[in-house]
């Protein structure tokens, strides 16, 4: 949870406490109309605070995308015909070393794009690398040879807004879009591949 979200949540819960006190006083003085109004406001503030908490929990593991961010640097070591080792280095994450089968390195990601009204909470387009695998150039190889697929960060969690958005339509009020993006590049003659996330999706650049 970023500082903006924390301040908004704290403000909403503080407001809810104030409305709860007003509800209690209104019912004690038999001012039922005023008490009912405060009760409605109490429910709205509590639900709003819970929504902010839901968004914070559901975007855990996602990183905000500004313009072009480095998602990972992949160091490639050939192991033989259609076999290579990929050491994946990501900012603020544990390095991962994988044995990959194929002619090309394939990586995909989950991307969340927020409605402009939600930007006031400090939320902007965010991404999370999802899977890495090998890709064969020849379709027959793709169908018959060994496939290697690995999840990064354990894959999507049950409490993940990317998955929740596909199940619950009401989240369209805050999420403009959720989509997947992928990129692949041949590892031949390449030793280092930089995986970048842009506003249009993933890009692989060899070094």
**Full DSSP string of 109-134:** EEEEEE-GGGGGGT---EEEEEEEEE
Q: What is the pLDDT of residue 55?
A: 64
pLDDT confidence of 136, banded at 50, 70, 90?
very high
Q: Is the pLDDT of residue 19 over 60?
A: yes
Q: Is the pLDDT of residue 140 over 90?
A: yes
Q: Is the pLDDT of residue 15 over 60?
A: yes
- The HSE-up count of residue 148 (CA atoms within 13 Å, CB side) is 18
Q: What is the pLDDT of residue 127?
A: 83
- Beta bridge partners, 70, equal 196
Q: What is the pLDDT of residue 178?
A: 72
pLDDT confidence of 3, banded at 50, 70, 90?
low
pLDDT confidence of 177, banded at 50, 70, 90?
low
Rg, C-alpha atoms of the chain:
23
Question: For 84-167, where are the alpha helices, taking DSSP H only?
Answer: 139-144, 161-167
Give phi and psi for 109, each to the nearest 5.
Answer: -145, 160
CB 182 within 8 A of CB 104: no
Residue 33 CB partners (closer than 8 Å, separation 6+): none
Q: What's 59's DSSP letter?
A: T
- pLDDT tens digits, one per residue of 77-125: 988 889 999 999 998 888 999 999 999 999 998 888 777 666 666 666 7
What's the predicted TM-score (pTM) here? 0.64
pLDDT confidence of 13, banded at 50, 70, 90?
low
């Amino acid at each position: 949870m970023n500082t903006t979200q924390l301040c908004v949540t704290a403000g909403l819960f503080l407001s809810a406490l104030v409305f709860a006190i007003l509800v209690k006083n209104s019912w004690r003085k038999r001012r039922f109309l005023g008490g009912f109004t405060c009760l409605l406001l109490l429910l709205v503030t509590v639900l709003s605070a819970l929504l902010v908490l839901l968004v914070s929990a559901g975007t855990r593991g996602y990183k905000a995308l500004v313009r072009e961010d480095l998602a990972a640097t992949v160091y490639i070591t050939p192991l033989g015909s259609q076999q290579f080792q990929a050491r994946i280095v990501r900012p603020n994450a544990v390095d991962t070393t994988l044995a990959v089968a194929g002619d090309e390195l394939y990586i995909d990601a989950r991307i969340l794009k927020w409605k402009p009204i939600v930007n006031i909470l400090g939320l902007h387009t965010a991404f999370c690398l999802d899977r890495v695998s090998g890709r064969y150039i020849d379709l027959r190889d793709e169908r018959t040879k060994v496939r290697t697929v690995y999840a990064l960060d354990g894959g999507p969690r049950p409490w993940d807004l990317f998955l929740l958005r596909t199940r619950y339509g009401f989240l369209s009020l805050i999420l403009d879009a959720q989509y997947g993006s992928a990129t692949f590049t041949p590892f031949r003659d390449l030793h280092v591949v930089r995986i970048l996330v842009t506003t249009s999706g993933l890009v692989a650049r060899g070094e």
